[in-house]
Chain A
Amino acid sequence: MRFAVTKVCGGGAKARAGVLQIGGSNIETPALLLSTRKGLPAFISRDLLASLPLPDSLLLHVCPTHFMDGPPSKTISNIGGLHHMLGLPDHILIAAAGDSIESLPTSEASNKFGASFETPAGRRLVKPSDYMELISCMKPNLWASLADEVPAWVTEKRNRVSVERTLRWLDACIALDADFGANTLGVVVGGSSIEQRKLCATEVAKRNVSGFWIGGLGLGDSPEERCSILDAAVGCLPPEKPRLVSRLGLPEEVLEGVAAGIDLFDSTYIYQLTMGGFALIFPIDMVGKKMDNGALNNSVGDFTKINLRATAYRKDTSRIVDSCSCFTCQNHTRAYLNHLLNVHEMLAQILLEIHNTHHYLCFFRLIRDSIKSGEFDGFRQQFVQDRRAHLAAAVM
């Protein structure tokens, strides 16, 4: 794996564009990791996945903990690792233990032996040795060490303990790693404490890791705090290695992360939109241009997304987004999606996940373009402003 920053931008020159050379592909950053369930997107099978923008859609976030009741390690090894088992040999699989849907960190059950996660199969305690057994049979392209992520409201003591454990487990994971950390992302925790964040980041940076994963955000920290937490953590990290963050999913959150110097984002925003019957429609050709598709007539959306369950779409034969080249928009209408949602058909989620993924990947392209042209700050400001203006207009 090789990573290089190609351009810095923005106030404080923290936002950066880069290139990740990994698994035979060159992935430009900032980039989005698509969330998965047992390694595959929730609804997009591999043949449909191939229709999404490339190489952007190659990046997948996989959770080893999804496989704790799944095929035994030996079987996974025999099949040849995760890439082969999933039928996705060219994809970039980045593993981390927790996610926001099927592997929720339950810090109150974590202890000195391992981290606890709430999974569909119940609560599971994962020790570094268990975790590394999964990692070694799965052979993801990159993997985050096992961390003790805690929500923002824990005591100072608990927070300190989480930092100590995370560092200890990082060392344990690297020690068990056949590649000695060459594909490891060290996790930085520390809750809402600036001091702990800096401490953790500094310590992780000393280890032989190839990148960093900012964990513990999106677990109760307020948006106001987040900015300073990110700055504190990122400030202590070397600039030449990539940084990932979890649970910053909304467009504004992503922009905030980019501004702080994050390169890769793992979020379940798309999944949550899809399950709610929402389709993204905010403009991705150029921020500031008028909304197309009669979006101004939408009384059932907030100009970022529309809720296709609404009866307003029963006879709407237009595409979700006129200019969108995704499979869903090229083949189906809002009316059909409305029908599918109303009769609880699986195809609704398939089509929505395709569109939402496509749309959000295009958003990331816009971000990259704005950094490369040196206009990220302006882009971010305009985007947030437009969004607020529409919200204000909707209220009146």
Chain B
Amino acid sequence: MALRFEVLGRFNRARAARLTLPHFTCQTPLFMPVGTQGTIKGLTTDQLEEIGCQIILGNTYHLELRPGSRLIDDLGGLHKFMNWKRALLTDSGGFQMVSLLHLADITEEGVTFQSPVDGKPMLLTPEESIHIQNNIGADIIMALDDVVKTTITGPRIEEAMYRTLRWIDRCIAAHKKPDVQNLFGIVQGGLDPVLRDICVKGLVERNLPGYAIGGLAGGEDKDSFWRVVAQCTAGLPEDKPRYVMGVGYPLDIVVCSALGADMYDCVYPTRTARFGTALVPEGVLKLKQNAMATDERPIDPTCPCMVCKKYTRAYLHCLVTKDAMGSQLLSYHNLSYMMRLSRDLHMSILEGRFPEFVRGFLRIQFPKGDVPKWVRNAMVVAGIDISECCAKCPRDAMDAPGTDIPELCPPTNNKEHIPCKR
């Protein structure tokens, strides 16, 4: 174990913690920008530090392809190669296999795929994935898991879950640097609570430094999504970090944090920036819209980042999607927003005002009170009263059809549930 995780503050399931990694001491909840090929698109490491990034992701698949993990190791590891002094996390390469390559085939041995370089059949095994990640040298490395789309049903999900457990043992055995790199296991099991439970228990038995909740953020409905997160966070150990992979939208991050998750990653903020969309407290601002051409306001008047302090929507409108500078400035702002969100989550939990923060967040995003049902459901389980943000009675939400998981619901004082009259 090469990390320390200390919970500094709580509100029900939500936690504010200090995560001490070999290269950096982080505050959770936190969002991790994705630097696929050893760089966050359009930003320097100085700028990332200035914005407040604590951990960034590297993609094992891409880095092994170019420049190669062996070269990175020869040159002293990815930290040195890209000159990033804070923490790094690498994924296993499994997801790219499945999402990028048409002919990926998963067997017990590993993931076979067609090499994009020369078309030869290649194999990524748990051992190989860990070996590559050992070379890259990130503070946190991910086990190779058998990933299935959440939209799939049937025996494949069960197969994938059990295989993930078998593969974690192979990953642990292959891991050469447990004293400086933390191997996180990934909970799979689709949307099936029984399978998820088996997987959680199996991984917890292995006593890993941290755990990720995988197999989500792939198109499943939000109602299923939050229930899986809630179930997993309830079953994972209190004193270890929980990482929800592929999340995402600010709203999702707030909800998952309320349910007890600590770490998140997604390409969304930087990718949407390149399409001209800025993240704002109200949701999103599409700078390409014609109305923006004469709008002299900053993207977000409450945002202290350089872009909001110096530039107007009108000027950014003429840059975005046309000039590299537009991508850079918008990525800078969007990541600033995500870092501010991370800080706000951490500080509000720490300072005992988390429910107020959540209510404030929802009020700005849903000024008409149309908070989605799944959010309302999740907040009930998180024990946060958001009734004043909602136009209708939140208790009605629990009558919605869906899997009933009684152990998730907090005990209530009301003996009787009286549905609101509409």
Query: Are the C-beta atoms of A79 and B74 separated by less than 8 Å?
Result: no
Query: Are the C-beta atoms of A343 and B312 separated by less than 8 Å?
Result: no
- Kindly state the separation between the CA atoms of A346 and B46 in the bound complex, as whole angstroms: 15
Residues of A near B67 (CB, < 8 A) are: 314, 335, 338-339, 342
Residue B337 lies at the interface, judged by CB distance under 8 Å to chain A? no
- Kindly state the separation between the CA atoms of A350 and B332 in the bound complex, as whole angstroms: 14
Query: Are the C-beta atoms of B39 and A38 separated by less than 8 Å?
Result: no
- Distance in Å from the Cβ of B53 to the closest Cβ of chain A? 15
Residue B19 lies at the interface, judged by CB distance under 8 Å to chain A? no
Residues of A near B41 (CB, < 8 A) are: 345-347
Which of B66, B318, B319 is within 8 Å of A342, CB to CB? B66
Query: Are the C-beta atoms of B81 and A335 separated by less than 8 Å?
Result: yes
Residues of B near A332 (CB, < 8 A) are: 83
Q: Indicate with 1 or 0, residue by residue over A256-288, a CB within 8 angstroms of chain B CB atoms.
A: 000000000000000000000000000000000
Query: Are the C-beta atoms of B318 and A38 separated by less than 8 Å?
Result: yes
Residues of A near B312 (CB, < 8 A) are: 71, 75, 79, 85
- Kindly state the separation between the CA atoms of A67 and B319 in the bound complex, as whole angstroms: 10
Residues of B near A338 (CB, < 8 A) are: 67
Residues of B near A47 (CB, < 8 A) are: 47, 50, 306
Residue B315 lies at the interface, judged by CB distance under 8 Å to chain A? yes
Residues of A near B310 (CB, < 8 A) are: 46, 87
**Which of A317, A331, A346, A350 has the most chain B CB within a 10 Å cutoff?**
A346
Residues of A near B364 (CB, < 8 A) are: none
Residue B178 lies at the interface, judged by CB distance under 8 Å to chain A? no
- Distance in Å from the Cβ of B125 to the closest Cβ of chain A? 25
| Total A-B contacts with CB atoms under 8 angstroms apart | 117
Residue of A nearest to B315 (CB): A85
Residue B281 lies at the interface, judged by CB distance under 8 Å to chain A? no
Residue of B nearest to A48 (CB): B44
Residues of B near A78 (CB, < 8 A) are: 296
Residue B42 lies at the interface, judged by CB distance under 8 Å to chain A? yes
**Which of B46, B306, B315 has the most chain A CB within a 10 Å cutoff?**
B315
Residues of B near A70 (CB, < 8 A) are: 315, 318
- Distance in Å from the Cβ of A50 to the closest Cβ of chain B? 11
Residue B370 lies at the interface, judged by CB distance under 8 Å to chain A? no
Residue B114 lies at the interface, judged by CB distance under 8 Å to chain A? no
Residues of B near A74 (CB, < 8 A) are: 294
On chain A, the number of residues with a Cβ less than 8 Å from chain B's Cβ atoms is: 43
Those of A47-95 within 8 Å (CB) of chain B: 47-48, 67, 69-72, 74-75, 78-79, 85-87
- Kindly state the separation between the CA atoms of A345 and B296 in the bound complex, as whole angstroms: 31
Residue A366 lies at the interface, judged by CB distance under 8 Å to chain B? no
- Distance in Å from the Cβ of A140 to the closest Cβ of chain B? 16
Which of B39, B62, B75, B332 is within 8 Å of A45, CB to CB? B332
- Kindly state the separation between the CA atoms of A314 and B74 in the bound complex, as whole angstroms: 11
Residue B259 lies at the interface, judged by CB distance under 8 Å to chain A? no
Residue of B nearest to A86 (CB): B315
Query: Are the C-beta atoms of A346 and B42 separated by less than 8 Å?
Result: yes
Query: Are the C-beta atoms of A38 and B323 separated by less than 8 Å?
Result: yes
- Kindly state the separation between the CA atoms of A75 and B74 in the bound complex, as whole angstroms: 53
Residues of B near A349 (CB, < 8 A) are: 324
Query: Are the C-beta atoms of A72 and B294 separated by less than 8 Å?
Result: yes
Query: Are the C-beta atoms of B314 and A42 separated by less than 8 Å?
Result: no
Given A335-B75, A335-B81, A350-B44: A72 touches B325 (CB 8 Å cut-off) = no
Residue B303 lies at the interface, judged by CB distance under 8 Å to chain A? no
Query: Are the C-beta atoms of B325 and A37 separated by less than 8 Å?
Result: yes
Which of B75, B294, B311, B322 is within 8 Å of A75, CB to CB? B294
- Kindly state the separation between the CA atoms of A336 and B76 in the bound complex, as whole angstroms: 12
Residues of A near B329 (CB, < 8 A) are: 45
- Kindly state the separation between the CA atoms of A342 and B63 in the bound complex, as whole angstroms: 12
Residue B45 lies at the interface, judged by CB distance under 8 Å to chain A? yes
- Kindly state the separation between the CA atoms of A314 and B41 in the bound complex, as whole angstroms: 20
Those of A288-326 within 8 Å (CB) of chain B: 314-315, 317
Which of B46, B296, B311 is within 8 Å of A331, CB to CB? B46
Residues of A near B294 (CB, < 8 A) are: 71-72, 74-75
Residue of B nearest to A340 (CB): B39
Residue B266 lies at the interface, judged by CB distance under 8 Å to chain A? no
- Please provide the 7 A-B residue pairs with the shortest distance between their CB atoms, ordered closest to farther: A87-B310, A70-B318, A71-B314, A346-B42, A347-B39, A343-B37, A339-B67
- Not counting A79-B315, A338-B67, A339-B67, a sample of 14 additional A-B residue pairs whose C-beta atoms are within 8 angstroms of each other reads A45-B329, A47-B47, A71-B314, A79-B296, A85-B315, A87-B311, A314-B67, A331-B44, A333-B81, A339-B37, A343-B38, A346-B42, A347-B39, A350-B328
What would be 8 A-B contacts, judged by CB atoms less than 8 Å apart? A37-B323, A40-B325, A69-B318, A71-B312, A71-B318, A315-B75, A335-B67, A345-B39
A contact residues vs B (CB 8 Å cutoff): 37-38, 40-43, 45-48, 67, 69-72, 74-75, 78-79, 85-87, 120, 314-315, 317, 327, 331-333, 335-336, 338-340, 342-343, 345-347, 349-351
